[in-house]
Amino acid sequence: MRSNTPAVNAVTVVVPTYNELENIQRLVPQLLDLDIGRPTTLNVCVVDDNSPDGTGAYADQLSASDPRVGVVHRPGKMGLGTAYVAGMRYALAHGADAVLTMDADFSHHPRYIPSMVARLPGADLVIGSRYVAGGQVLYPLPRRMLSRSANAFARITLGLHPNDCTAGFRLYRRRVLESIPLDLIFSNGYSFLIEMLFEVQQRRWIVAEVPIIFEDRRYGQSKISRNEILKAVYTCVRLTARRVTGRHMVSKTEFVRSK
Ligand SMILES: Nc1nc2c(ncn2[C@@H]2O[C@H](COP(=O)(O)OP(=O)(O)OP(=O)(O)O)[C@@H](O)[C@H]2O)c(=O)[nH]1
Ligand SMILES: [Mg+2]
């Protein structure tokens, strides 16, 4: 287990978006109004994939009126996993000590962010967790069952310890992201979350969970496809093979360093 846990001064919230105009109009102002405990500052990075509904253009307006808001534009819908990576890279390049990822649709409510930041001392990754005491999922039953099964499958096949392994509501310390060669993550969609957690656990970073109540989106449409289930299974199989063979991802820079 790794131990020393310095205080964080700057948190960047990464919000991937695809057609989330109604949500982003509400979410970003709420994020900027949050009190996450002085002297920690909060910045926002919207990663938009050229949303036809104008989410990206709206995010640009927010950015022009408040320097705490940044926008990463990508030319088309390229998947949630690479959107997270683009946002993480932006945040690290702009001096973030910690990076929080969340959905735009209020399933991850900003009200939980202060408790996630407060949990960071003593942890390297904090998960906004649906599956610890006090957590809950307010989805219709079939979606709840799907979510539970995906989570159980990932935990069992990969030996992951956290209760909620598929949550996108996460707060990573900078050093955690710097320890993982993000360019070598192979999962692009929602299974990116499973692969990232696997890499975090492999490196023995300390993971904490704080309970959240996950609500269904009120505005806009879901982007998750049936394909994501197959992709998650593929991710688990590929990572299991890596576990069994004892081969871990090594980036070119790590390789050079270790020679
Ligand atoms: N930039 C980018 N964002 C994406 C992409 N796919 C999904 N998102 C965003 O990722 C977040 C999660 O997507 P959702 O469609 O809410 O997925 P979900 O929460 O599993 O599904 P719902 O239950 O319908 O909400 C949202 O903020 C989306 O706008 C993508 O390809 N690119
Ligand atoms: Mg959602």
Distance 77 CA to ligand 2 centre (A): 16
Distance 258 CA to ligand 2 centre (A): 41
Ligand 1 pocket test target in 72, 89, 105, 229 with most atoms within 8 Å of CB: 105
Tokens of 172: 């990573």
Look at strands 170-173 and 125-129 and give their pairing.
antiparallel
Mean pLDDT of 63-71: 98
For residue range 148-157, list pLDDT tens digits in order.
Answer: 999 999 999 9
3-state class of 142 per DSSP? helix
Q: Are 132 and 163 in contact (CB under 8 A)?
A: yes
What's the pLDDT at 143? Answer: 87
Looking at the CA of 72, name the nearest ligand.
1
pLDDT at 102 over 70: yes
What's the pLDDT at 256? Answer: 44
Q: Which atom of ligand 1 is nearest to the CA of 74?
A: 1
Mean pLDDT of 10-36: 97
pLDDT at 247 over 80: no
pLDDT at 255 over 50: no
The Cα–Cα gap between 237 and 136 comes to 28
- The architecture that CATH gives domain 10-258 is Alpha-Beta Complex (3.90)
Q: Give yes or no for residue 83 CB within 6 A of ligand 1.
A: yes
pLDDT at 26 over 90: yes
> Which residues is 125 bridged to in the sheet?
172, 207
The Cα–Cα gap between 54 and 213 comes to 29
The Cα–Cα gap between 111 and 114 comes to 7
pLDDT at 27 over 80: yes
Q: Give yes or no for residue 223 CB within 6 A of ligand 1.
A: yes
Name the pLDDT band for 248 (thresholds 50, 70, 90): low
pLDDT at 2 over 70: no
What's the pLDDT at 33? Answer: 97
The Cα–Cα gap between 112 and 151 comes to 21
Name the pLDDT band for 66 (thresholds 50, 70, 90): very high
pLDDT at 111 over 70: yes
Q: CB-based contacts of 45: which residues, under 8 Å, 6+ apart? A: 12, 13, 14, 15, 69, 70, 71, 72, 87, 90, 91, 94
Say what the pTM is: 0.92
Looking at the CA of 55, name the nearest ligand.
1
Q: Give yes or no for residue 89 CB within 6 A of ligand 1.
A: no
What's the pLDDT at 40? Answer: 87
Name the pLDDT band for 221 (thresholds 50, 70, 90): confident
User: Nearest Cα to 195, choosing from 224, 232, 225?
Assistant: 232
For residue range 125-158, list pLDDT tens digits in order.
Answer: 999 999 999 999 998 898 899 899 999 999 999 9
- 96-105, 114-123, 202-211, 248-257: the lowest-pLDDT one: 248-257
Name the pLDDT band for 243 (thresholds 50, 70, 90): confident
At CA 80, angle to CA 77 and CA 82, rounded to 5?
Answer: 85
Mean pLDDT of 180-194: 92
